[in-house]
């Protein structure tokens, strides 16, 4: 598969073009980091106030309507929650490792392409997708994207999409579980103890148990508003203090087993008992990390030490399509739509909450993407990033920013490590639950004893976790390239399906046409490049069956399923407008 690792050399362009770009690069390479972040925040604020509200006005909401969370309340998946609680779940679930890793890796092309894609993608691609997926689900009884496709496209398209999404969920669980286990690993390769890692693992373990107690207390004693926020902050500070004081040292393998056990528990327990309260607690940690980055940039006023543009091809990697699959979270991510329609839509208490939850959460994630880009480029030397992983680059810089508040270096390292692990942890619990529900929906059409057995909540969760564990054994570096392309391809499929929903219900859908077409072309191009890379390994004799062979099978399956979904959705999208249903 394509290697998206950091590189610092560029392929020569046409001399005249290259000379012009170099002049441009010198003029803007010394851009002030604070200015860039401020520009991004202002643009995102205007986008929310004007474009986001315009979408709401164009499609219409009913503030007095009874949402699916109330109509189908079951105390498990459908559970009404406050606006901030749903926002916390949405933001915590979608803000995975992507907003940190993607922009930093994409800086190989220069900071301007990465910055522009985050801005344009976040406003017109990602936020629109997340909000529309949430909107469509709430307006259709809290149904997932698969069931929405079934209603507006047909059963065949639904089955293809559900199978695609289930395969994609395996990649997400595998990649992020490996990241979590590696982050919590308390031992170095030479056997030395890694205190910050062990402390982060200890804090994360406390998070699970404290979250359940917190969720029970909030539900039992009807705690809300300011009291809930104060209680959450007290719990968070206490967990961090106890975890740092009592680090738990365990190997990566042990943490991998623990991670998968946690995924199982999170998938089968009621939303209000674990996932919602844990996300509620985590959102303060994640927002605090973003705030630390912004404050650090405000105080430190760093200079961007990376070229504005390094070339259309860098180390044989073309800007198109690599840039657009490297930066997913922060610009547009298909996974977000699964959260919007899979879990968040089932907890929305009022349709007015859909804009801040769907559109707003994505824009804040885009801010994190810009902050990550600025932080990484500010520590570059002579136009080259440090030779370290994106997490290490980001974490070390954020750790220094924490010192602004008088926090000791060791404590700041523990907190930053915990924040990084939280990015993965808040994703895998939600995606495991979503993957389980996807499998159940896929099997619901079959009336056999085997289908009924596999549709059991516990069995469906196990069936989802086992293949993802096998994928995880190869390490996230072998999964990440395929995950990135599949994630963006999922976004294209979701945008096409949502365009069908809008058109069929008599709503304007033209604002989705460019994003869905662009993302489909980008991702299919990236997958073709990946297949070419595997072919090159085969010819060179470096093909590894259990790694490259498995990725080859998954890549071909994803491309086939994607084409089938587009085929069925396309027929409805260009079909007779007389078939349009009454707007709902």
**pLDDT 10s digits, 329-342:** 889 999 899 899 98
Count of Cβ atoms closer than 10 Å to residue 226 Cβ:
8
The CATH number that applies at residue 404 is 1.20.1740
DSSP string, 84-131: HHHHHHHHHHH-SSHHHHHHHHHGGG-HHHHHHHHHHIIIIIIHHHHH
Domain membership of residue 582 (yes or no) is: no
Q: Which of 312, 382, 383 is nearest to 12 (CA)?
A: 312
When pLDDT is averaged across residues 441-469 and rounded to a whole number, the result is 91
Q: How far is CA 521 from CA 180, 333, 335, 554, in A?
A: 32, 15, 18, 19
Euclidean distance between CA atoms 210 and 281, whole angstroms: 9
Domain membership of residue 121 (yes or no) is: yes
553 burial type by CB count under 10 A (0-12 exposed, 13-18 middle, 19+ buried):
exposed
Higher pLDDT, 287 or 358: 358
**Which of 79-83, 277-281, 380-384, 385-389 comes out lowest in average pLDDT?**
385-389
Q: Where do the DSSP E strands lie in 283-360?
A: 313-314, 317-318
pLDDT the model gives residue 118: 97
Flag whether pLDDT at 528 surpasses 80. Answer: yes
Average pLDDT, the chain: 85
461 burial type by CB count under 10 A (0-12 exposed, 13-18 middle, 19+ buried):
buried
Domain membership of residue 581 (yes or no) is: no
Flag whether pLDDT at 375 surpasses 50. Answer: yes
Name the domain count of the chain.
Answer: 1
pLDDT the model gives residue 25: 43
**Which of 88-92, 202-206, 475-479 comes out lowest in average pLDDT?**
475-479
Half-sphere exposure of 543 (CA within 13 A, CB side): 16
Q: Which of 416, 431, 425 is nearest to 468 (CA)?
A: 431
Domain membership of residue 551 (yes or no) is: yes
pLDDT band per the 50, 70, 90 thresholds, residue 386: confident
Contact 475, 174 (CB under 8 A): no
Q: Is the dihedral of CA 62, 87, 118, 148 positive or negative?
A: negative
When pLDDT is averaged across residues 240-252 and rounded to a whole number, the result is 92
pLDDT band per the 50, 70, 90 thresholds, residue 77: confident
DSSP conformational letter for 317: E
Flag whether pLDDT at 546 surpasses 50. Answer: yes
Flag whether pLDDT at 14 surpasses 70. Answer: no
Contact 515, 362 (CB under 8 A): no
When pLDDT is averaged across residues 517-522 and rounded to a whole number, the result is 93
Flag whether pLDDT at 502 surpasses 90. Answer: yes
pLDDT the model gives residue 389: 67
Flag whether pLDDT at 481 surpasses 70. Answer: no
Domain membership of residue 438 (yes or no) is: yes
532 burial type by CB count under 10 A (0-12 exposed, 13-18 middle, 19+ buried):
exposed
Domain membership of residue 21 (yes or no) is: no
Domain membership of residue 343 (yes or no) is: yes
Express as a percent the part of the chain with pLDDT over 70.
91
383 burial type by CB count under 10 A (0-12 exposed, 13-18 middle, 19+ buried):
middle
Record the pTM. Answer: 0.84
Domain membership of residue 41 (yes or no) is: yes
CA distance from start to end of the chain: 43
Domain assignment of residue 186, given as a range: 30-574
DSSP string, 367-411: HHHHHHHHHHHHT-BTTB--SS-HHHHHHHHHHHHHGGGT--HHH
Q: Which of 496, 491, 430 is nearest to 149 (CA)?
A: 496
């Amino acid at each position: 598969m394509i290697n998206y690792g950091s590189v610092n050399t560029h392929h020569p362009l046409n001399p005249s073009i290259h000379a012009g770009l170099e002049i441009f690069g010198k003029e803007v390479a010394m851009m002030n980091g604070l200015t860039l972040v401020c520009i991004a925040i202002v643009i995102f604020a205007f986008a929310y106030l004007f474009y986001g509200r315009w979408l709401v006005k164009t499609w219409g909401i009913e503030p007095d309507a009874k949402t699916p969370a109330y109509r189908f309340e079951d105390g498990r998946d459908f559970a009404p929650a406050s606006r901030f609680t749903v926002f916390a779940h949405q933001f915590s679930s979608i803000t995975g490792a992507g907003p940190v890793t993607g922009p930093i890796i994409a800086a190989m092309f220069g900071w301007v392409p990465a910055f522009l894609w985050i801005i344009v993608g976040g406003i017109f691609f990602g936020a629109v997708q997340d909000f529309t997926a949430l909107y469509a689900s709430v307006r259709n009884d809290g149904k997932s994207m698969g069931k929405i496709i079934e209603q507006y496209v047909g059963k065949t398209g639904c089955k293809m999409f559900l199978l695609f999404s289930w395969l994609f969920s395996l990649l997400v669980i595998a990649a992020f579980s490996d990241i979590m286990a590696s982050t919590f690993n308390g031992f170095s390769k030479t056997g030395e103890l890694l205190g910050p890692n062990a402390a982060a693992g200890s804090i994360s373990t406390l998070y699970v148990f404290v979250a359940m107690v917190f969720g029970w207390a909030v539900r039992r004693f009807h705690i809300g508003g300011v009291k809930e926020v104060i209680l959450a902050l007290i719990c968070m500070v206490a967990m961090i203090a106890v975890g740092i004081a009592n680090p738990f040292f365990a190997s990566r393998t042990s943490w991998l087993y623990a991670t998968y056990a946690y995924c199982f528990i999170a998938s089968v327990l009621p939303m209000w008992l674990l996932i919602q309260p844990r996300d509620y607690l985590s959102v303060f940690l994640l927002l605090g990390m973003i705030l630390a980055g912004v404050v650090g940039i405000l105080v430190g006023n760093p200079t961007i030490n990376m070229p504005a543009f390094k070339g259309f091809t860098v180390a044989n990697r073309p800007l198109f399509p690599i840039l657009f699959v490297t930066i997913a979270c922060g610009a547009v991510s298909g996974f977000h739509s699964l959260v919007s329609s899979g879990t968040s839509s089932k907890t929305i208490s009022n349709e007015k909450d859909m804009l801040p939850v769907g559109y707003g959460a994505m824009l804040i994630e885009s801010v994190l993407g810009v902050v990550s880009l600025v932080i990484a480029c500010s520590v570059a030397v002579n136009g080259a990033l440090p030779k370290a992983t994106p997490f290490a680059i980001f974490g070390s810089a954020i750790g220094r920013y924490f010192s602004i508040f008088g926090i000791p270096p060791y404590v700041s390292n523990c907190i930053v490590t915990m924040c990084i692990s939280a990015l993965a942890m808040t994703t895998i619990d939600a995606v495991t639950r979503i993957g389980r529900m996807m499998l159940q929906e896929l099997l619901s059409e079959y009336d056999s004893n085997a289908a009924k057995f596999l549709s059991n909540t516990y069995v469906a969760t196990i069936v989802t976790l086992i293949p993802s564990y096998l994928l995880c054994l190869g390490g996230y570096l072998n999964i990440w390239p395929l995950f990135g392309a599949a994630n963006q391809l999922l976004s294209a499929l979701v945008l096409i399906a949502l365009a069908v929903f809008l058109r069929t219900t008599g709503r304007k859908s033209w604002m989705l046409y460019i994003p869905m077409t662009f993302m489909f072309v980008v991702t299919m191009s990236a997958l073709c490049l990946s297949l070419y890379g595997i072919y090159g390994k085969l010819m060179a004799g470096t093909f590894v069956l259990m790694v490259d062979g498995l990725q080859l099978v998954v890549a071909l399956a994803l491309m086939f399923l994607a084409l089938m979904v587009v085929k069925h959705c396309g027929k409805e999208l260009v079909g007779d407008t007389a078939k349009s249903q009454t707007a709902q």
